[in-house]
Structure 1
Amino acid sequence: MLRFLFRRDLTESNVSRFVRHFSLEANSVQKKQVPVSCNDSEDNSKVLIRFPSKFYQHSFDSFESMIAKEKSDAKSYILIEDKTNGKLDSIPKEALEKILDSSITQMYKYHLGSRGYCLVKLDDYENFADRNNKNFQHQSFPVYARMFSLLPNSLKLIKDELSTEPVVIPDLLRNRKCWLKFIHEKNNMDSNEFIDNLVNSVLLNEVEAKLRFFLINQFEELLCTGPFNRCQVYPFGSSVNGFGWNQSDIDLFLTPETLKSPKDNAYGLTSASSQNIAGDNNDTKRVLQMLHGIINEFVPAVKDVNAILMARVPIIKFDSIASGLNVDLSFFLDSRDSGIDIAHVLYEYSRLDVRVVKLMIFVKLWAMQQGITRSAPGVWINSFGLMMLVVHFLQVRSPPLLPPISHLNVIYDPYQASVTKQTNDLCYDYKTPFMTLLKEFFDHYARFEFENYGCNVSDGLLIKKPSSNSALYIQNPTHRYLNVSKNVQNTELAKLVLIARASHDIISRGDHVSSLLKPFSRKSINIGDLY
């Protein structure tokens, strides 16, 4: 027997909710499915090539198509929690179809520690929903959701169909930490093989990505009703930027649909609406306060719901029990303020060259292990700032691996610098081994003149710091007048430089790359130089 956790009535408008495609100019890099020649030369260094990738999120044609396809597919999924003491693991597809009385297109079984789940894609979700809209837990508030509990009496229907073969079900909690064993176990792999295994163990795979979009669809169906019925929920950050870790938080934002202005209506009619929203922090706080109550009271399988309204970007934080992940939900009147454009840029970069993915993932792990970045905000560089340092290095090295952000035509930028190099003036490097790139990265920032210069990732340029007030200057690619690393203090920047120098020395003497992911001693990096 299946039982709903909550209930909400389905309507045709909810099922066919508009999926927005983020617009790009026609000559955007993501539109190009073949190598793009910078000129008529046969020299491969003059060709900007996108290499085939084995990573799941790189299998889509574009950033927009990935989000649209995943959100569309998620409308056919349900999530089943095992309440049968582990018997769900042994239920084959045909037997589960008998329990659901529905044809299954795809299914993903997974564990979160002792809890078992199955993410199921149904061939006809609407028919299933019509037949199963009254099975609720006793005394629960009847709000419809796509999450079910599989109870022991369900097994009566299929008692002779349970699989007797050993079944290996992935434990997502264990998998999200398995990269640690590569560091601490005796390593017989060479450095390149180690990097490959490390990246594969960290990046989002298909089930992790599908689970995230299932939750996005669940939140959208539960939140985007009533006064929010013209809003949508979208992901940004690591869930969609092509560099996502399987243990990363789920970053979401709620935003209104793009609506026609009254002058576009031939009959001159407009709908009655509530008071105007200016889109400032006070409006954002009011919206999030309302959403906080809805999530806390009515959304199933969440806990520790907190509204953090005094932050620079107010958010609602909560834990998703069914995914074992933290969720941050924000509200933006204009989606361009959300970070979706930056996620788009990084996604395009992640698809250009697998070495970019390897370097980004390794540097993020290295910085986390060495205490350069931390999970909480503070006076140290954050994950986004670190990613911009990697991007800038790959833009300014000679020859570059990445084009300037302005060449991707993803971000509308009225301040685009006139001195930006044209694409046909750039030669790209497709030959340098990854370990050489890693060594160059450490050397680059061990020698970088942070006191005088900053990073312009929009144009791929080294620039003079506009002010000496900040230890580290990284120009914000979406708002050029902002410094994304304004919070970083001198001691934290000096720590980054010292650890980069020590890391360069370790690689130069031929030590295994895994040693860079073990925290350095204070003596090994001359930590006293910081004080």
Structure 2
Amino acid sequence: MDDWMAQNLHSLSEEDPVSLPYVHILLQTHSEQVSGNIAMSCSLLVPCPDRLMWESWRSSSFVTFSEHQEQRKQQVLRTYYLQVPSFAVGHDMYDYLHQFGDIKEVQLLPAVHDHNDAVSYLVEFATEAAATEFFQSASLPAEQRAVPMKSRFLRWTPMGRKHGMFAQTQTMQVLSQRKEKIPKQNHVSLSAEIQAYYEKVRLKDLDFRLSYLVCDQMEAALRACVLPFGSSVNGFGKQDCDLDMFLSVAQMGPLSKVPELTFLCKPGLTSARMQKQRYLELLGDLLISLVPGCMQVQRILRAKVPIVRFQHLFAKKDCDVSMDQVGPLMTELLWLLGEMDPRVRPLVFCIRKWAREVKVTSPVPGRWISNFQLTLLVIHYLQVVRPVILPSLRTLEALGGPDDIQVTSDGLECRYVRDLSIVTPSTNSSPVEDLLTGFFAYFHSFDFKHKGLSIRYAESVPKTYHQGVLYIENPLEPQLNASPNVVLEEVVRFQEQCRAALWKLENVNRTLASLMEPLEVEELGYKPYGLVDVSKIFHEEEPKSTNSTNQLQPKPLLSASARVPPSKMSSATSEPEPKKKASGKKSSVSNRIAT
């Protein structure tokens, strides 16, 4: 029976040799004495969920980041934010919109508390012509105190119409309040839990629409190019994340010859940083006095990267506007790396969630590891794992062509490939839970003292003391450290928690909920970093017990000769001074500090 089964499995691999990495084969033999016969049970070949997801991922047509942005921009041209007095006029609103053309989709947005019972919808027309006709029919408000501003944020007030409830149809989707919780699933693998969590908290289509709609409003007010970047568009952002926008006043694109015809422009300031600060200062004034929905505008111009921060009332987003050209390029790079393999983003989401729960990261910037730095750690691990899942940046640069070269106004040149259809896919078929375990095993013993991480070369590189405690080579600017803020204590904390997570995956139930539970490192058999015994600082011994006379005395922290100052060492060793009679009880630590 064993020879027959092995022969069939061998023939299966010869007929379809690609199937072996794609399936999980479980052979379980057990002998049972049933009427003198030996029964053998063999489970069927079960397709691996991660491999099926990988197959559907690679079979779908690839879209570059530029094409993705262009599709979103075209979608914005057919989309409007429409505010109505109440939910009761929804049916009348639908009839009113239909007179301009077919409606592709209507989505209900969360309520804006500053407008009483007002309800907001996101309306997308089927054609751009219908959307243009709808926009041209709008007028400025009749209020004399209203600041005139035309944008895609509109208000509709029914005039002499019979109110009717908006029935739930296929063209309307209600957006409920979303909370970040781990989905409860029974009898599923850890990989399935990670995938379910990723699908729950990742950005949805509505989030992308609102981001590009806010950028379109900014472009209408500034008459300049405004593009979203960062976690809101690179695929690594969660729901309700901040919206980072890039204000472009200079063209950034492929290398070209010096143009013969140019515009006459006013000379700018001698310092590029001061010029950006001046632009952003004027932007803050425009947001305060002109653009509707922008509230609590703050100008943070003395930061390393000057920004203007505000809250968008209608989109319910915290927004940052900057003129740093590195941000959009880094966004595209992370988007490309996330598109190379369907396991990259779920793994990053899981590790970010774990780091937040065990206090490795914090929503407030500081001396600890940030989400961006944690993402670079995951990318580095996926570059060094065998077989390789993500290629090095040098490989992507070698595959890039002349059309892939982009140069910023600061002279930063990026030439990595944009079309991933020419990149050879990875042969690694490990499930996400195995990659998660490998991540913890790799970094809990990593020598951060003598080595750094290189995304460009996909390897660990030697580092010097001046390169920081945690050295992660900036992918776009190799001369810079992407983690200069991290201190030694946080690196030790990260490695301790990696060890604790690895212990839980090997000794506790392999579930996402158990992984997220904080585990005190004392349970692993060693003290955490940074805790000091106060009694050792002041050389204070424990009081003797009156019940036991044979109790062992604790050893002093230093020997008697070591506690003597060097200047008195000779006299102390040759002829010790006579002991003085104690005048009272031994003072406590607090009394000695006070004196």
TM-score by length of 2: 0.69
Q: Residue in 2 aligned with 1:95?
A: 95
Structure 1's 93 and 517: CA in aligned 2 closer, same or farther, altered over 3 A?
Answer: farther
Cα contact 1:60–1:66 (8 A) shared by 2: no
Q: Would you say 1:358 and 2:351 are equivalent positions?
A: no
Which of 111, 131, 134 is the aligned partner of 1:128? 134
1:68 maps to 70
Does residue 149 (structure 1) correspond to residue 194 (structure 2)? The answer is no
The residue that corresponds to 2:41 in the other structure is: none
Once the two structures are TM-superposed, the CA of residue 108 in structure 1 deviates from its matched residue by: 2.0
- Are residues 1:340 and 2:328 paired? yes
Q: Which residue of 1 aligns with 2:539?
A: none
- Aligned twin of 1:288: 280
Measured in 2, the distance between the counterparts of 1:465 and 1:307 equals: 37
Rate the CA distance shift 1:524–1:324 in 2: closer, same or farther, 3 A: farther
Please name the residue that 1:243 is paired with: 236
Alignment of 1:6-45 (within 5 A): none
Question: 1:529 is paired with a residue of what secondary structure?
Answer: coil
Cα shift at 1:113: 7.0
Change (3 A) 1:43 1:92: same
Using the alignment, how far apart are the partners of 1:92 and 1:520 within structure 2? 56
Q: Which residue of 1 aligns with 2:450?
A: 452
Q: Which amino acid aligns with 1:456?
A: S
Instruction: Return the offset for 1:281.
Output: 1.9
Name the CA shift for 1:380/1:161 in 2 (closer, same or farther; >3 Å): closer
| Deviation, structure 1 residue 523 | 4.7
Letter in 1 for 2:237: G
Equivalence for 2:181: 180
The amino acid of 1:243's aligned partner reads: F
Q: How far apart are residue 222 of structure 1 and its match?
A: 1.2
Q: Secondary structure at the match of 2:361?
A: coil
Quick one: which amino acid aligns to residue 133 of structure 2? N
CA distance in 2, matches of 1:514, 1:297: 48
Residues 206/60 of structure 1: CA separation in 2 closer, same or farther (3 Å cut): farther
- Say if 2:380 and 2:454, in contact at 8 Å, map to a contact too: yes
Look up the match of 2:81: 79
Amino acid paired to 1:480: P
CA contact (8 A) 2:383 2:392 kept: yes
Q: Which has the higher contact order (CA 8 A, sep 6+)?
A: 1
- 1:432 and 2:430 aligned: yes
Deviation at 1:125, TM superposition (A): 2.6
8 Å CA contact 1:232, 1:257 repeated in 2 = no
Between the aligned partners of 2:71 and 2:463, the Cα distance in structure 1 is 42
Q: Structure 2 regions of 5+ residues with no counterpart?
A: 1-16, 22-51, 398-403, 415-421, 532-595
Moved more, 120-129 or 292-301: 120-129
Change (3 A) 1:446 1:170: farther
What does the per-residue CA deviation read over 1:198-217, in whole Å, with 9 as the maximum and x for residues that have no partner? Answer: 10111111111111111111
Query: In the alignment, is residue 529 of structure 1 matched against residue 529 of structure 2?
Result: yes
Equivalent AA in structure 1 for residue 88 of structure 2: K
1:111 counterpart SS class: coil
Alpha carbons of 1:425 and 1:73: their partners in 2 closer, same or farther (altered >3 Å)? closer
2:88 and 2:66 map into 1 onto residues whose CA distance is: 39
* Aligned match of 1:264: 259
Q: 1:15-53, CA deviations, whole angstroms, 9 ceiling, x for partnerless residues? A: xxxxxxxxxxxxxxxxxxxxxxxxxx99999xxx99466
Distance in 2, matches of 1:500 and 1:136, equals: 61
Give the secondary structure class of the aligned counterpart of 1:491. helix
CA distance 1:294–1:396, shift in 2 (3 Å)? same
1:220 maps onto 2:219 in alignment: yes
CA contact (8 A) 2:112 2:314 kept: no
Taking a change above 3 Å as real, the CA distance of residues 326 and 449 of structure 1, as seen in their structure-2 partners, is same
- Distance in 1 separating the partners of 2:56 and 2:240: 21
1:175-208 alpha-carbon deviations (Å, 9 max, x no partner): 1x2x3253xx686654233212210111111111
Question: Which residue type is aligned with residue 374 of structure 1?
Answer: S
Instruction: Tell me which structure has the larger Cα radius of gyration.
Output: 2
- Once the two structures are TM-superposed, the CA of residue 464 in structure 1 deviates from its matched residue by 0.3
Deviation by residue 1:46-93 (Cα, 9 ceiling, x = unmatched): xxx9946679xx986110101111112212221012321x225x5388
Maintained 8 Å contact 1:107/1:119: yes
Counterpart code for 2:507:
R
Residue-by-residue CA offset, 1:87-118 (whole Å, 9 max, x unaligned): 25x538842425x7454233222224766321
CA–CA distance in 1 between the matches of 2:167 and 2:495? 56
Output the amino acid matched with 2:216: N
Structural RMSD (CA): 3.6
**Residues matched between the structures, number:** 456
CA drift of 1:412 comes to: 6.5
Asked if the contact 2:53–2:342 (Cα under 8 Å) also holds between the matched residues in 1, the reply is no
Please tell me whether the aligned partners of residues 191 and 514 of structure 1 are also in contact (alpha carbons under 8 angstroms): no
Are 2:119 and 1:116 equivalent residues in the alignment? yes
CA–CA distance in structure 2, aligned partners of residues 236 and 383 of structure 1: 15
The one of 488, 497, 504 equivalent to 1:506 is 504
Shift of 1:317: 0.7
CA separation of 1:146/1:109 partners in 2, compared to 1, >3 Å: closer, same or farther?
A: same
Q: Distance in 2 between matches of 1:393 and 1:103?
A: 49
The AA in structure 1 aligned to 2:350 is F
TM normalised by structure 1 equals 0.77
**What CA distance in whole angstroms lies between the structure 1 residues aligned with 2:169 and 2:518?**
43
What fraction of aligned residue pairs are identical, expressed as a percent?
Answer: 23
User: How far apart, in 2, do the equivalents of 1:232 and 1:275 lie?
Assistant: 20
1:196-207 alignment, distance < 5 Å: 196-207=195-206
Question: In the TM superposition, what is the alpha-carbon distance from 1:407 to its structure 2 partner?
Answer: 2.1
Whether the 8 Å contact between 2:80 and 2:124 is mirrored in structure 1 is yes
Matched, 1:322 2:295: no
Are 1:369 and 2:357 an aligned pair? yes
Change (3 A) 1:263 1:389: closer
After alignment, is 134-143 or 192-201 more displaced?
A: 134-143
1:140 aligns with 2:146: yes
> What secondary structure sits across from 1:157 in the alignment?
coil
Structure 1 residues 189, 279: closer, same or farther in 2, change over 3 A? farther
How many Å apart are 1:415 and its aligned residue?
A: 10
Tell whether 2:192 aligns with 1:193. yes
The residue identity in structure 1 corresponding to 2:478 is R
